[in-house]
Structure 1
């Protein structure tokens, strides 16, 4: 079946792209495109731009367009693909898409173009996931990371493990199936165990890349917490460079979670401004405080904000004692432009180093961004390789690692080679599922449903 969809975001823009893929893409092109003279456009030059006029579903001219014809298998989906580049805006793009649907295509489902690329063997499942991650990347470092995966770097590593496991398994099963054959020789379980141990070490090291990979994909979440009116919202606005949160002199203005994005050390950082931690004055604020506590539990790091110009309050001291032992904690004294703050008292009484900043003047903000980057990279950072970026990757690689480890241990002791062979088979199954070979249909549905329509 031939599919069609808008491949660019809906709305006003310079260009809109309607994408068509499938066996009837050529007939769709002949039905909806004409030369500027009005004559039929019988053929499009492969992988070249052709100036044409697009027709609407009733056959009337609607827009002057560029048409790109990419015959399979040298296309994104490995099918015949037609792209029609029309003027941006809702009317022109909608009219062209409706004409393609009237000519025999059906509307594509979310991610269906990439799903076809996967099913037709152009990319594997890891690369398909990277397509979405490239689109959603928020920083240059995150983009580079996902581009390496899309280019096949991670898939090649996994494929290399698969090949080496297959060779070890072939030798192992040869000894098991033909123990009396002279060509097979004496079982060398220790040598096979050593081969598996080498693979085990590589897989274990790859697992250590997950911390950075997840951060690159999901971002590093930082909760801004403290009493009301200490400047958390002003700090959020300063860090993200826009007025995301309402700022007033009235305590308790922030009732719900307010988010904004910035970057530090190439890491996408998600900042969450929370309701002030105090005894709530009404049910709405009470719910805001409850949500703030929940974000505290889920955040990768916590920035505790107090203010200069006054001593540390008892309730702030209690929050410091409760929060400071957790990893990823940072204390900030805001409003440094108002005079001395409690930074030295915090250091002496609570053993916490504190940054002095001013959300109003920008004092200390570069140092705060630097510290956020340091916290974000404490579990590893960009290394030039392709990391594991998703929980699905981590789970399957960890399962494969456990199988390889058990097989190596058994063969190292010269015990139960049949069980060791079964473990190697298990490792290869987990790695195959990672690449999408034989992946369950519900897994594919879950992955591709997150894509936008048109990709």
Structure 2
């Protein structure tokens, strides 16, 4: 906030050798400063225009031929005067232009500062600002879809619809109590309010459930590959990742530490961890690896237990089945290429060595996505801040429902609805001190 009036500059593209680099500038002095080092007069340049010319060092020496994309406040991403310099993508060229602009009095932008200015200038709300980061770092289709929805107006409109529904309930109560002579709003009864609050609570619970699932999908499902030594865990990890990430050997205890990787399975990602084989051992280093494996099992959201299908189950296999009995797991019967001796219901047969794992991938998809979610059309809030507000909203609406059913007066219960309404505003970063009475009376007829 201290430097919000500065004119800022930063590379908007990666600082690597490439065909084109983009240097972004924003602030009130954008045009006057760039004009000093550009070959054409741009002080009166109109917004939403492109202009070709040269950047020079102020002494007549050309640095690069560039194209300026010009934007005028408030019709820019940040809401300020803004220019994007499209220059040739050499690291040296990009650095020289940025250094030149800094010497003119611009300041290097902080991380996220362009988006921060867009938020402070009411060009985007907090949900949209957070969606920018989600879009950049999206690793699966579901995250991409929800980020696109949040970046545009879709998610904001759905939140506003929720807010409007809640405000309608609050308005009914307040007008009935404070303005009984106004007959354009339906009278509130305990029964009608209880029904309306419960319907709203059902909406919030569904949004929260689907949002929590989507957050797991966004971050990647923590998946542990476990089994006794030499059943093919590392071969399975390599097959899933399609690379030789883990060392494969017939020697038991080869994997002594955790080996990790990440794969994209369309709508979701897996954070894979190949664990050390779990068995009784006197080897102190192997014991450490086994302890780590058990800790990973405790935290995993999905477990793939690998067993050797060319042999019968052993005590070690049965011990592992007991260990994961209350977890979300899949049993993969491996080494089918050696001949199948193990007959066990509810398992997935694979050959990791032969890369025959398609049926396992389908089983993982079925196991992870157990709830049907429409990523294109649902309200999904997927970061910790947003979900924390959803928790509080659910808590307040639940409290209102409970007290209504216990016979508490509607005019006392409405305070919980007002808290939930303020929390919906906070999700978007709106001022929760918006005058509630003003919002209520906006809904009255003209002339009332």
Give the shorter-chain TM-score range: 0.7 to 0.9
Match of 1:28 in 2: 33
Counterpart-to-counterpart distance in 2, 1:182 and 1:147 = 43
Counterpart-to-counterpart distance in 2, 1:386 and 1:99 = 45
Match of 2:302 in 1: 301
For the 8 Å contact 2:208–2:387, the answer to whether it is kept is: yes
1:150 positional shift: 1.6
Match of 1:431 in 2: 424
Aligned CA distance change for structure 1 residues 24 and 356 (closer, same or farther; 3 Å)? same
1:360 is the counterpart of 2:353: yes
1:20 positional shift: 1.2
Secondary structure of 2:207's counterpart equals helix
Counterpart-to-counterpart distance in 1, 2:57 and 2:234 = 50
Between the two proteins, the alignment pairs up a number of residues equal to: 425
Match of 2:389 in 1: 396
Q: Deviations over 1:268-306 (max 9, x none)?
A: 222222222234665554443333222212221000112
Secondary structure of 2:273's counterpart equals strand
1:375 is the counterpart of 2:367: yes
1:224 positional shift: 0.9
TM-score, length-normalised on structure 1? 0.84
Runs of 5+ unmatched residues, structure 1? 440-455
For the 8 Å contact 2:253–2:286, the answer to whether it is kept is: yes
Match of 1:209 in 2: 210
Which range moved further: 294-303 or 391-400? 391-400
1:387 is the counterpart of 2:380: yes
Aligned CA distance change for structure 1 residues 309 and 178 (closer, same or farther; 3 Å)? closer
Counterpart-to-counterpart distance in 2, 1:57 and 1:340 = 78
For the 8 Å contact 1:333–1:355, the answer to whether it is kept is: yes
1:318 positional shift: 0.7
Alignment of 1:58-207 (within 5 A): 60-178=61-179, 181=181, 188-207=189-208
Match of 2:18 in 1: 13
Aligned CA distance change for structure 1 residues 186 and 432 (closer, same or farther; 3 Å)? closer
Counterpart-to-counterpart distance in 2, 1:33 and 1:274 = 59
Aligned CA distance change for structure 1 residues 185 and 250 (closer, same or farther; 3 Å)? closer
Query: Which gives a bigger RCO, structure 1 or 2 (Cα 8 Å, sep 6+)?
Result: 1
For the 8 Å contact 1:211–1:379, the answer to whether it is kept is: no
Secondary structure of 1:95's counterpart equals helix
Aligned CA distance change for structure 1 residues 438 and 297 (closer, same or farther; 3 Å)? farther
For the 8 Å contact 2:142–2:218, the answer to whether it is kept is: no
Match of 1:448 in 2: none
Counterpart-to-counterpart distance in 2, 1:25 and 1:427 = 42
Q: CA RMSD in A?
A: 2.7
1:414 positional shift: 5.7
Q: Deviations over 1:195-235 (max 9, x none)?
A: 33332232222122124321332122211112233222221
Secondary structure of 1:247's counterpart equals coil
Counterpart-to-counterpart distance in 2, 1:92 and 1:42 = 24
Aligned CA distance change for structure 1 residues 200 and 66 (closer, same or farther; 3 Å)? same
Q: Deviations over 1:420-451 (max 9, x none)?
A: 12112111121121111248xxxxxxxxxxxx
Match of 1:445 in 2: none
Runs of 5+ unmatched residues, structure 2? 1-5, 433-448
Secondary structure of 2:86's counterpart equals strand
TM-score, length-normalised on structure 2? 0.85
Secondary structure of 2:36's counterpart equals helix
Which range moved further: 187-196 or 386-395? 187-196
Q: Deviations over 1:147-199 (max 9, x none)?
A: 112223222222122223223223322333356x4758966444444433332
1:131 positional shift: 1.2
